[in-house]
Amino acid sequence: MAFRPSVFIFDEPTANLDPVGTLEFFKTVESLKKTDEHTIIIIEHKLDELIHLVDRVIVMGKEGVKLLEGTPYEVFGENSDLLIKNGIWIPQTALLAHKLVQNNIKLNNIPLSIDEAYNSFKKFKPLGNGLKRENCTELTHHSSPVLDIRDLSFAYDDKEVLKNLSLKVHKGDFLAIIGANGAGKTTLAKNIVNIIHPPSGKVFVEGKDVLKIPTEELCHKVGYVFQNPEHQFIKNTVEEQLTFGLQSRGFPSEKIVNWLDSTLEKFKIKQYAKSSPYMLSHGQKRLLSVATMLTLGQDILILDEPTFGQDLKSSNELLTFLKTLNELGKTIIIITHDMNIVAKHAQNVLVMAEGEAIFNGSTHKLFKNNSILKKARLTIPPLLQLSVNLSQYYEGWNGMATVEEYVNALKPLKQN
């Protein structure tokens, strides 16, 4: 921005930014827009906090073809079906309205913002309370943890990054680690997988000090998807990248070929099998890095920002896949800045701020704790904000954060 150009092109400017950082960036865009001196083009997947600034939207379909063009309302309001079918993100409130219409709940228009949604929804009285998060009881564990971190401190040279952090993760947990940029989340993950070495007696995987677990054994116990997918690429082609793990374990080649085929298909990168991993788009690199990690069938999976740069379809597929693995008993730890994912998928959350664990508990408690949210530069998900606003009108709205929770509450609906 220092050059003050007349045209700005921002290509996914908020990927990897913490939630408050994302809001601050969009505020900056708003002030640029107000000067009326700049043309601003933003390529984005995250639309909720941005859409009110946008005059015109172009949706790119497959292979560089323009799918739609128009005002935000023309694109997201009138064509939500087409966009969802093509796996493209639309604002959360529009996604919710789309689901309600599918469930025969009539709306006059598709709301694109929390304010518009507030106006459309306040005529309803939610009657169901199926999935509401207040009702979720916190899990208590009796077994010993698969991951046990005790008073871990870690410094890069003399810069202290982790401070006396303790954490227990049990088999079958789905834990989200969240917090501001620079809070130490990636550093913590790297300590768990012993890429950077914790002091002895601080990190235990399945009861053993990680420093005493041979690297190969640890790789088979804990899978780690790097925040930067390129850090994971060590082979010249996508195909080699995907298969080296199985080859090194001596799998029969027929089995490897079958697995490769289905994986390329599942992650939609079949046409790039012979390409260099570096030739893929950002989102495709992310999918390849996840697929590479999944080859060894580890019991504990740690994914550092697994969904950044992903369209709606890939993001949903990836999370559904992780959920399936979780239901099969795998322990999943994701590091993410996406509060929608936290609300929808995490059983527990660890919030980090300046290297310390400042909260460990359920999403329900977290989203009510304003001082923790503020300290860690977090926001509540847009649909939870909507439910807070609506609850001033009718208490029954309170505590809903996901599309599913709204649909459950509104299904037995009586229109007022």
Ligand X SMILES: Nc1ncnc2c1ncn2[C@@H]1O[C@H](COP(=O)(O)OP(=O)(O)OP(=O)(O)O)[C@@H](O)[C@H]1O
List 113, 191, 227, 387, residue binding ligand X (CB under 6 A): 227
Q: Which is nearer to Mg ion, 304 or 405 (CB)?
A: 304
Tell me what percent of the chain is helix, strand and coil, each rounded to the nearest 5.
Answer: 45, 20, 40
Stretch that binds ligand X, among 96-104, 140-148, 180-188, 377-385 (CB under 6 A): 180-188
Q: Which is nearer to ligand X, 161 or 213 (CB)?
A: 161
**CA gap 180, 60 in Å, rounded:** 31
Residue 396, CB half-sphere, CA atoms under 13 Å: how many?
Answer: 15
**CA gap 55, 72 in Å, rounded:** 7
* Strand ranges inside 157-217, DSSP E: 159-169, 174-179, 203-205, 208-209
> Are residues 125 and 394 in contact, defined by beta-carbon separation less than 8 angstroms?
yes
Q: Which is nearer to ligand X, 94 or 167 (CB)?
A: 167
Q: Is 187 in the site for ligand X (CB under 6 A)?
A: yes
> 86: Cβ–Cβ under 8 A, 6 or more apart, which residues?
61, 62, 67, 313
Q: Which two tokens stand for residue 48?
A: 């909720």
At its nearest, how many Å lie between Mg ion and the CB of residue 100? 36
**CA gap 166, 145 in Å, rounded:** 12
The one of ligand X, Mg ion, none whose footprint includes residue 399, by CB under 5 to 8 A per kind, is none
Q: Is 184 in the site for ligand X (CB under 6 A)?
A: yes
Q: Which is nearer to Mg ion, 172 or 306 (CB)?
A: 306
Total number of residues that touch Mg ion (CB under 5 A): 3
Q: Is 186 in the site for ligand X (CB under 6 A)?
A: yes
Radius of gyration of the chain (CA): 22
208-209 and 203-205 as β-strands: parallel, antiparallel, unpaired? antiparallel
Q: Is 340 in the site for Mg ion (CB under 5 A)?
A: no
The one of Mg ion, ligand X, none whose footprint includes residue 184, by CB under 5 to 8 A per kind, is ligand X
Q: Is 309 in the site for ligand X (CB under 6 A)?
A: no
Q: Which two tokens stand for residue 249?
A: 């374990």
Q: Is 197 in the site for ligand X (CB under 6 A)?
A: no
List 191, 227, 284, 379, residue binding Mg ion (CB under 5 A): 227
Stretch that binds Mg ion, among 65-73, 78-86, 184-192, 323-331 (CB under 5 A): 184-192
Q: Is 186 in the site for Mg ion (CB under 5 A)?
A: yes
Q: Which two tokens stand for residue 297?
A: 């069938």
Q: Bridge partners of 300?
A: 222, 331
> Are residues 165 and 188 in contact, defined by beta-carbon separation less than 8 angstroms?
yes
Q: Is 331 in the site for Mg ion (CB under 5 A)?
A: no
Q: Bridge partners of 11?
A: 43
At its nearest, how many Å lie between ligand X and the CB of residue 154? 9
Q: Which is nearer to ligand X, 15 or 325 (CB)?
A: 15
The one of ligand X, Mg ion, none whose footprint includes residue 183, by CB under 5 to 8 A per kind, is ligand X
Q: Is 231 in the site for ligand X (CB under 6 A)?
A: no
**CA gap 373, 296 in Å, rounded:** 36
> Are residues 152 and 198 in contact, defined by beta-carbon separation less than 8 angstroms?
yes
Q: Is 223 in the site for ligand X (CB under 6 A)?
A: no
Question: 135 to 164, contacts with ligand X by CB under 6 A?
Answer: 156, 159, 161
At its nearest, how many Å lie between ligand X and the CB of residue 368? 23
Total number of residues that touch ligand X (CB under 6 A): 12
At its nearest, how many Å lie between Mg ion and the CB of residue 241? 22
Q: What are phi and psi of 335, to 5 degrees?
A: -105, 125
Give the binding site for Mg ion (CB under 5 A): 185-186, 227
Give the binding site for ligand X (CB under 6 A): 156, 159, 161, 179, 181-187, 227
